[in-house]
Structure 1
Amino acid sequence: MHKVLAVGGMVAACLGTAQAQTLDLHGIGVSRDVPCKGLDVIVTGNGNRFRLTGDCGQVEVNGSEQQVSFGKAAGLVVTGVKNRIEGDRVTGLEVSGSEHQVETEVRGGDQQPAQIAIYGDSNVLKLALDGPTQIEVNGLNQQLTWRGDEPQIETTGVEHHIQQD
């Protein structure tokens, strides 16, 4: 019976260490370079400047007036107001809130198209599309400029400006 408990404890310990860690970056007016090391990243606060280096997991930017740059990320989620995001490449993108500026390449896979969802008001996105991509544009006055592979685009809302670069 003790062997079963010992094995169960070892499995639980291994599972606990296998869980993904998250880099939590927050503050007001903080400026720094941070290595991702494949981890998920959550940025919160106001007026921060973070340069993420290396490959990142999911990058989530919340708050206002954040400036975040990164290389490759598994995905990008942007909420809040007036955040500016520049990335080399993501495989999925969700933007909500208002007046964000997002510039990145979005790469779809052979088996699954990349998913992009835009909500809110007056967001400006400049995207390079590589591979199959599905884009959903919602809200008011979204500005989407894209280049690369032709995406599937669905729209709801009013006054959107969608154009190929």
Structure 2
Amino acid sequence: MKITIISVGKIKEKFFTDAIKEYAKRLSKYCKLSEEVISDERADESFSQMEIEQVKIKEGTKILNKIKSNTYVFILHINGEQLSSEKLAQKINNLGIEGNSDLTFVIGGSNGLSDEVLNRADFKLSFSKMTFPHQLFKVILLEQIYRAFKINSGEAYHK
């Protein structure tokens, strides 16, 4: 299985990059993982809603340019469906059985995702109604994907 993580904004904190590298290393046993980092657009707090929408559109265009046509796209979105770790594992497993062995997970920027990106989603996934820092969320996402593979393999990591 091939997993691609597309995220907006570079991660600057070493402890986050170390955690991401650790989960990427762990995942290498189960899948081919690739990461695409999209540069975030400048958006001051003084920006109007129209200016924020333009930022989302610019970031969205960059995201869409990275999504392959034959991939199954998970968009991480606060209003998406919440799944347990077991249900996420089951969904990933079922997608593989159905022939969807190329999965893409998209993490938007701090202003959210454009309508065009949201419309490209095959599945909108929410981990919580809470808001998380984007840098931390990438770690959480990778851990949950790793957990899903461990569950599907019947290994003892998941408790």
Return the TM-score normalized by structure 1. 0.23
Higher strand share: 1
Highest relative contact order (Cα 8 Å, sep 6+), 1 or 2? 2
